[in-house]
Structure 1
Amino acid sequence: MLNFSFVLTLFVLFFVSENALAVDKVFPGNSKYVEIISDDDTICKSMVQAQGYACEEHKVTTKDGYILSVQRIPVGRSGKTGNKPPVLLQHGIFVDAAPWLLNSPEESLGFILADNGFDVWLANTRGTKYSSGHTSLTPNDSAYWEWSWDELVHYDLSALVQYVNSETGQKLHYVGHSLGTLIALASFSQQDKLINLFRSAALLSPIAYLNQIQSQLTKDAAQLHIAEELYSLGYYEFPPAWDILGKILETICNEPDVNCSDIMTALTGPNCCVNTSKAGVLLKHEPQPTATKNIIHLSQMIRTGTIAMYDYGSEEENKRHYGDSKPPVYDMRNIPKELPLFLGYGGRDMLADVDDVKALLNDLKDHDKGELFRVYIEEYAHADFVLGVNASQVVYDPMISFFNLH
């Protein structure tokens, strides 16, 4: 499983060194962003149309200038027009939309939803390969990477939901995995006008509270302030260069108490049901970059146990951005009690830890009866919810039934 787990080894960049002075030796300079995308090199052509499905490429521009790539699968493989509402799929960190399509059509959520009559929309977060555009910046500009998941809440999610609603004229279902759940939960907690465009939301491996996270690698990275050190040295894209992953792996594997026989397990938990034969295909699409500031924000959550906006590190800076010495909190108790929510979580997930999910569920304890549906799978870890070969039966079937009710 080591080859497959390589797709997530960029997490180990957290562990460049316990000494900030060593970072410059590992990252001798920022990598130049050179990405040439041919007409055939698109998710539609390489992953969707290749399986016999219709596919449309869309572009969505956020209010802060990021140009997001979105794929639409309007009908199932039969070609018959679906009669069900749109569903927006939002991936997690370090990936793009590809994992929703990686398994066979009978096992991949993107295809399963289309074959069940839904109008499927696949999001790609800013900074990823197909969403690297901007109205005035390029990924070589440090300002391009000045964002955390706060901006994904306030700009990306807002732009995507409004676009899908405008194109279809319908309210939509939402499916998020990992970081894709956090941005939805944060948005829902603010109860702005956007929430009126959702029919329901399915949250797989929900990320809200992170202070009980079981991944020792991720916890240590947060405690060592590795992302903050990188940012202070001028590395705003995370990771700064892809060609040093091998060196980083070697560094990590020499650390005491780190078992590198399976990095993926060390990071996400022991996934029971991932098809490792898909590793070669996945490596054509992942891993994807994110902003170092985004990693800092997640690290703050691990250290503090709160769900709050980005902490700028001083009362003065926080006051300048928020008008208060402390960052505003996203209060999960503010999520509308009538909003239909489907939560899928696993007993072996080391990122969306069961106890952290229980803390979220406690915040939702007053949710309207029948509007909060839970699927707990003891043997599932983090990646199983998207890449598990049996997820269609144990997760997606009940999810689709949930959608059909709403």
Structure 2
Amino acid sequence: MSGGSRCSLLRPTNLQPVTTIFIVAVCLAVAATAARPAPMIAGTSLATAAANGTCQSRVVPFGYGCEEHTVTTEDGYILSLQRIPTGRGETTAVAAGGGGKVPVLLQHGLMMDGVTWLMNSPNESLGYILADNGYDVWIANTRGTIYSRGHTSLASTDSAYWNWSWDELASKDLSAIVQYVYSQAGQQKMHYVGHSLGTLIALAALSEQQQVGMLRSAGLLSPIAFLDKMSSPLARAAADIFLAEALYWLGLSEFDPTTESVHSLVTDICKQPGIDCYNLMSAFTGDNCCLDNSSVQVFLAHEPQASATKNMIHLAQMIRLGTIAKYDYGNAGDNTAHYGQATPPAYDVTAIPDDFPLFLSYGGRDSLSDDQDVSHLLRTLGRSHSHDGDKLTVQYLADYAHADFVMAGNARERVYAPLMAFFKLQEK
């Protein structure tokens, strides 16, 4: 049976609900876990290197200075931050206060961590490129990722630890991280770069005027906002059959696509004749044009990361309803208890200050950040709302899909150079 026909079984009419849910979960995990265990490089597996921390596994070996930091959110989550204060071979240490360098905060997307920005070579990955171009680079890791599992009172095995959605990533994690970087960098305003879910939490925070005074600009790569036109067949199937809700009802508060049982099943599936796990990745993200094998191997050693099942429910609500709103608790009583109203409040992106600089880059093959949804966002920011024309820069790459923006071998020339040119304009 071909890979396409296997995933066509996702139609709920073909299978009992539990079987359907299980197959969807497996298909969602295939793309990211198929090639594990990681290959050996110079006698040491990438997975082993990953366990040593981001600075030691991905930054210091390439000749960069790197610092590990932690920040605690107001609700007790202890988050890991990596700082790259110097470029390759730069021996002058950045003093407390940032040494005069402009800070840039990098925020990863869903089921990823800070390694997102370090998966290619130093000449190709945004984290390294920014450091080599004189920026004070800060890499965020949201709650629930491997290096951000600490909490002041909860263990990550507690269901209460996973009681959050991207609402909290915007209001708690991003808020704490921005304030920390601002303080550490001598109260210098920072540029922000987000990919995928990292763009959504920025838009949500900006729409509520959070930390606007600490930011110079925001670069949004493969932006996620309106999701009702999302064309990814696997993501749509998961939303349409209420996969995340079913897992939540079954008591699974942590959504972890890398559990041993799923990994074993995925490995078996990928061994079957005619099954191409990279094609399944494309079915999820869109047909990425420009990934190279080395970045894929780093990805497979470090990712995917776990998320909260509640977070997955929140995203599924957006896909089904086409809204940008806070988490829907499913009934008027619970919503009223949380929000003071029967329905979840919407995030109003038109409330983002007209003069706040935004750089949006999106791809024609991206099935998660579909170009119709991005066009909806742009209309909201533009014609429906007069965001200053010289403060809104838009880039469209017809051949790019979701992962290309952080993993493509040619992203330096096609995405990062224009992004840094945009930064320079905001620094004048």
Compute the TM-score of the two structures, normalised by the length of structure 2: 0.84
The answer on whether the counterparts of 2:103 and 2:188 sit within 8 Å (CA) in structure 1 is yes
Of 378, 401, 411, the residue aligned with 1:381 is 401
The 3-state SS of whatever aligns with 2:106 is strand
- Residue 395 (structure 1) aligns with: 415
Per-residue deviation, 1:244: 2.5
- Residue 59 (structure 1) aligns with: 70
- Cα pair distance change 1:215/1:345, threshold 3 Å: same
- Residue 298 (structure 1) aligns with: 315
- Residue 44 (structure 2) aligns with: none
- Residue 149 (structure 2) aligns with: 132
- Residue 44 (structure 1) aligns with: 55
Matched, 1:191 2:246: no
Distance 2:115 2:278 in 1: 26
Of 1, 17, 20, the residue aligned with 1:19 is 17
- Structure 2 matches for 1:4-403, cutoff 5 A? 19-20=17-18, 41-79=52-90, 80=92, 83-168=100-185, 169-192=187-210, 194-239=211-256, 242-246=259-263, 249=266, 262-365=279-382, 366-403=386-423
The 3-state SS of whatever aligns with 2:231 is coil
Q: Deviations over 1:199-234 (max 9, x none)?
A: 000000000000000101111110100100110110
Partner amino acid, structure 2, of 1:334: A
The answer on whether the counterparts of 1:26 and 1:244 sit within 8 Å (CA) in structure 2 is no
Per-residue deviation, 1:260: 5.5
- Cα pair distance change 1:386/1:21, threshold 3 Å: closer
- Cα pair distance change 1:377/1:243, threshold 3 Å: same
Partner amino acid, structure 1, of 2:401: A
- Cα pair distance change 1:121/1:241, threshold 3 Å: closer
The answer on whether the counterparts of 1:339 and 1:371 sit within 8 Å (CA) in structure 2 is yes
Distance 1:245 1:76 in 2: 40
The answer on whether the counterparts of 2:170 and 2:205 sit within 8 Å (CA) in structure 1 is yes
The answer on whether the counterparts of 1:342 and 1:374 sit within 8 Å (CA) in structure 2 is yes
Distance 1:284 1:241 in 2: 11
Distance 1:139 1:55 in 2: 27
Distance 1:98 1:40 in 2: 12
Distance 1:58 1:46 in 2: 16
Distance 1:333 1:23 in 2: 37
The answer on whether the counterparts of 2:295 and 2:407 sit within 8 Å (CA) in structure 1 is no
Q: Deviations over 1:310-349 (max 9, x none)?
A: 0000001100110100000001111111000000000000
Q: Deviations over 1:45-74 (max 9, x none)?
A: 111001000000000000000000000000
Distance 1:374 1:343 in 2: 5
Distance 1:310 1:248 in 2: 32
CA RMSD, 1 decimal:
2.6
Per-residue deviation, 1:277: 3.1
Structure 1 stretches of at least 4 aligned residues deviating more than 6 Å after TM superposition: 21-27, 37-40, 250-253
The answer on whether the counterparts of 1:259 and 1:266 sit within 8 Å (CA) in structure 2 is no
- Cα pair distance change 1:110/1:250, threshold 3 Å: closer
The answer on whether the counterparts of 1:83 and 1:117 sit within 8 Å (CA) in structure 2 is no
- Residue 31 (structure 1) aligns with: none
Distance 1:386 1:39 in 2: 18
After superposing the two structures, state which structure 1 stretch, 96-105 or 111-120, moved more: 96-105
Q: Deviations over 1:358-397 (max 9, x none)?
A: 0000011111121000111000000000001000001000
- Residue 33 (structure 1) aligns with: none
The answer on whether the counterparts of 1:89 and 1:176 sit within 8 Å (CA) in structure 2 is yes
Distance 1:83 1:397 in 2: 22
The 3-state SS of whatever aligns with 1:60 is strand
Per-residue deviation, 1:110: 0.1
Distance 1:152 1:58 in 2: 18
Distance 1:45 1:359 in 2: 41
Distance 1:18 1:183 in 2: 36
* Structure 2 unaligned blocks of 5 or more: 1-6, 26-47
Partner amino acid, structure 1, of 2:240: Q
Partner amino acid, structure 2, of 1:379: D
Identity over aligned pairs, percent = 55
The 3-state SS of whatever aligns with 2:212 is helix
Distance 2:86 2:278 in 1: 42
Per-residue deviation, 1:236: 0.3
Q: Deviations over 1:88-137 (max 9, x none)?
A: 00000111111211111000000000000000000001001000100000
Distance 1:261 1:25 in 2: 17
* Structure 1 unaligned blocks of 5 or more: 1-8, 28-36
Equivalent residue pairs, number: 380
Distance 2:269 2:297 in 1: 23
